[in-house]
Amino acid sequence: MTVMTETVARPYEHPVTVRSQVTVPLRFPDGFSATAEVMTFHGLADGKEHLLLGLGQWEQTLLDQGPEVAAPLVRLHSECLTGDVFGSERCDCGPQLREAVEEIAAVGGFLLYLRQEGRGIGLYSKLDAYALQDTGLDTYEANVALGRGEDERDYTAAAQMLGALGAGRIRLLTNNPDKAGQLAALGVDVAEQVPTGVHLSEANLRYLAAKRTHTAHTIELPSVDSPTTTDAVPSHDEILARVEALVPRLRERAGETEELRRIPDATMAELKAAGVFQMLAPKAVGGFGMGLETYVQVVRTLAQGCVSTAWSVGHLVEHVWMLARWPQQAQDEVFADGPAPLAAATGAPPGAAEQVPGGFAISGRWSFASGVMHSDWALLAVQHGSVRLQCLVPLAELELLDVWHTAGLRGTGSNDLRAENLFVPAHRALAWDALAAADNPGSLIHPDPSIHIPMATFLNMVAPAAALGAAEYALEEFRKLLMVRKVKQTVEKRQADSPLAQARFTQAYGQVATARLHWEEAVRVVAASFGRRPVAFTDGERAQYRLSLGLSGQASAEAVRLILTGSGGSVHRLTHPLQRIQRDVNVLLNHASLTMDPILEQAGRGLLDLGFTIPAEQF
């Protein structure tokens, strides 16, 4: 906490003036762009070259100021050369800068770029502090060890710049209570403190934890010790809270995820730190042993940040659950390194298997290997005579074919795999019927209820959950757009004032509500079967939950269509989340779990008690 002297505690007694203003187009590495009005000042208290960036409709927000109107959104961002320029992951400064520009540009306000490197101790001293942190000190202890203050920043100049523009009442984008406290003491009315996202990586976890515990930053983090190394099993609400904290960062990285065609390493680190991948792993191997309801809620929540990430993570989590259904010898092998072995799984089309001494020789080319870019193992379907097998193969023994170039879900990296006469030992080949059944080999090893659930139940859940989460995200973005967008050739100040826009939003809201109700009904029907032994569905129940999932997907897609139609041409830029959501949902609708023609046909037969024309396990 900085202690201010009486001479600088009242900056409005020492007003400053704008010395220059210039328009600067901004573009970030992930493709996001914005336009800023960059201002410099005469008379700042500390004599430094601080900048103020006016973003979005900042002039209008100043004109609209009043107790009943939203105040300008403001971010005080302290210069960080290592994070802002070089992309260092030892801090969260670069991601916060990127996030702030987008958030402020959407509603109108100011980003103040303050020349206070290293919390005011300077660049060289900050790097010296990094060296001390490598010996075990936290970020504050390192500053003190150098003979400096824990935080030497002073926000007098920031208050002066805001005063020069007449921004006496603001909404402050920060997790740091000291910023709000200093500004309030300097005469700025902080009407609201808006939290930033939690930009977590393996490299900055201790840094963020120190900010949370030492200076009361409002940051939700998993334990500094990874959940994989503790005995604590989170509750349903706790794991969802961890995932919800990741959503802003997933949104920020969505463009990068598409460009890479896989989940970024930093996101994978955050997901692992949150314990997401061990949700369905049995408790006996160090997992959480959670059920379907938690699993699908996590997928839905992740999709509110990035649909590609939700899809890949949903399948990777599900595949851990599939590995726990295998006999003991295979489980000993895959769970040897921890409770969440990552595996891709694909059966389209199945390969061919020939029995050889000690196992099988398999050949084939398998498509749609979701999660393959992050996996150590692959679960491959093969045909041996009339028997369908699943083979567990180290990914290093397979050829990865880079073919995933798609309109949507690009970030899933669901590439192809190929093998020719690859030997698979007998203990890593299992009949599909045995693996998929409620009384699978793993169910004799683990008491966790989810291991006793027929496999097709979970396989059908990912796409509808991802579609629903995507539609909910789209509705949120649409609402923001309506509140600030001025439509050409209309008299309304903003789109939200148009009765037609209000009707469109209501329609989209209704479609999302419909999608949610159908989805919740499907989850209810499936969950109701868990108490049975063996777990099994009647044809009517199977038809009911599959139909509800399909209708949920349809309603989600219709909501997104309505939103895109009413959002103007700018949302079709590749940097805009709404166009990405539209493309992702369009691809989701082509997945077998959401393709309506076969769903309607088989569901009709099941509801009318006519019997399915395909094996029930395939529906």
Assess whether 267 and 203 both reside in one domain: no
Domain termination site, one of 173, 194, 215: 215
Please tell me the chain's helix, strand, coil percentages from 3-state DSSP, rounded to the nearest 5: 50, 15, 35
145 in a domain, yes or no? no
Give CA–CA dist 234/240, Å, rounded. Answer: 9
Give CA–CA dist 23/34, Å, rounded. Answer: 11
Q: How many CA atoms lie within 13 A of 171 on its CB side?
A: 21
pLDDT for 2 equals 38
This prediction's pTM: 0.66
Assess whether 211 and 229 both reside in one domain: no
The SS3 assignment for 468 reads helix
The SS3 assignment for 37 reads strand
Residue 394 or residue 487, greater confidence: 394
pLDDT for 571 equals 86
Assess whether 280 and 210 both reside in one domain: no
Per-residue pLDDT of 576-612, as tens digits, reads 999 999 999 999 999 989 999 999 999 999 999 999 9
Domain termination site, one of 398, 415, 446: 446
> Per-residue pLDDT for 222 more than 70?
no
For tokens 């030497």, what's the residue? 152
Beta pairing class for 377-384 and 17-27: unpaired
403 in a domain, yes or no? yes
Assess whether 206 and 233 both reside in one domain: no
pLDDT for 137 equals 81
> Per-residue pLDDT for 342 more than 90?
yes
Residue 311 or residue 135, greater confidence: 311
Per-residue pLDDT of 445-464, as tens digits, reads 998 888 888 787 778 999 99
> Per-residue pLDDT for 225 more than 50?
no
Provide the annotated active-site residues: 151, 153
135 in a domain, yes or no? no
Assess whether 561 and 436 both reside in one domain: no
Share of the chain above pLDDT 70, in %: 94
Per-residue pLDDT of 41-73, as tens digits, reads 999 999 999 999 999 999 988 887 766 667 999
How sure is the predictor about 223, in pLDDT bands with cuts at 50, 70 and 90? very low
Give the closest residue to 374 by CA, choosing from 456, 267, 228, 493: 267
Task: State mean pLDDT over 406-411.
Answer: 95
Assess whether 329 and 245 both reside in one domain: yes
64 in a domain, yes or no? yes
The SS3 assignment for 576 reads coil
Per-residue pLDDT of 382-405, as tens digits, reads 999 999 999 999 999 999 999 999
pLDDT for 228 equals 39
Numbers of helices and strands, H then E, in the chain: 20, 14
Give CA–CA dist 179/619, Å, rounded. Answer: 56
> Per-residue pLDDT for 377 more than 60?
yes
CATH of the domain at 253: 2.40.110.10
Task: State mean pLDDT over 173-180.
Answer: 92
Instruction: Mark residue 8 as left, alpha or beta (left: phi above 0; alpha: psi -120 to 50; beta: remaining).
Output: alpha
CATH of the domain at 25: 3.40.50.10990
Assess whether 49 and 85 both reside in one domain: yes
Residue numbers of the domain that contains 576 = 460-618
Task: State mean pLDDT over 547-570.
Answer: 94
Domain termination site, one of 215, 232, 262: 215
pLDDT for 215 equals 78
> Per-residue pLDDT for 230 more than 80?
no
pLDDT for 13 equals 59
Give CA–CA dist 186/13, Å, rounded. Answer: 10
Q: Which two tokens stand for residue 233?
A: 């099993």
Assess whether 440 and 563 both reside in one domain: no
259 in a domain, yes or no? yes
For tokens 């099993």, what's the residue? 233
Task: State mean pLDDT over 128-132.
Answer: 89
For tokens 């065609």, what's the residue? 261
Assess whether 30 and 103 both reside in one domain: yes
pLDDT for 495 equals 83
**Residue 77 pairs with which residues in a beta bridge?**
113
> Per-residue pLDDT for 492 more than 90?
no
Write the CB contacts of 64 (distance below 8 Å, at least 6 apart in sequence): 70
> Per-residue pLDDT for 522 more than 80?
yes
The strand order across the sheet containing 429-431 reads: 399-401, 416-425, 359-366, 343-356, 377-384, 387-394, 429-431
pLDDT for 146 equals 86
Task: State mean pLDDT over 410-416.
Answer: 96
Share of the chain above pLDDT 90, in %: 69
Assess whether 545 and 426 both reside in one domain: no
> Per-residue pLDDT for 190 more than 60?
yes
Give CA–CA dist 464/466, Å, rounded. Answer: 5
132 in a domain, yes or no? no
Write the CB contacts of 250 (distance below 8 Å, at least 6 apart in sequence): 267, 302, 305, 306, 309
Q: What is the mean pLDDT of the chain?
A: 89
Give CA–CA dist 537/268, Å, rounded. Answer: 35
Give CA–CA dist 521/289, Å, rounded. Answer: 23
Per-residue pLDDT of 163-175, as tens digits, reads 999 999 999 999 9
> Per-residue pLDDT for 100 more than 50?
yes
DSSP summary character for residue 283: G
Write the CB contacts of 89 (distance below 8 Å, at least 6 apart in sequence): 201, 202, 203, 204, 266
- Total count of domains within the chain: 3
266 in a domain, yes or no? yes
Assess whether 254 and 300 both reside in one domain: yes
Assess whether 425 and 515 both reside in one domain: no
Beta pairing class for 33-42 and 17-27: antiparallel
pLDDT for 221 equals 65
Give CA–CA dist 536/493, Å, rounded. Answer: 57
pLDDT for 438 equals 82
Task: State mean pLDDT over 264-282.
Answer: 92
Least reliable range by pLDDT among 365-369, 389-393, 572-576: 572-576
> Per-residue pLDDT for 6 more than 60?
no
CATH of the domain at 582: 1.20.140.10
6 in a domain, yes or no? no
**Contact yes or no for 224/209 (Cβ under 8 A):** yes
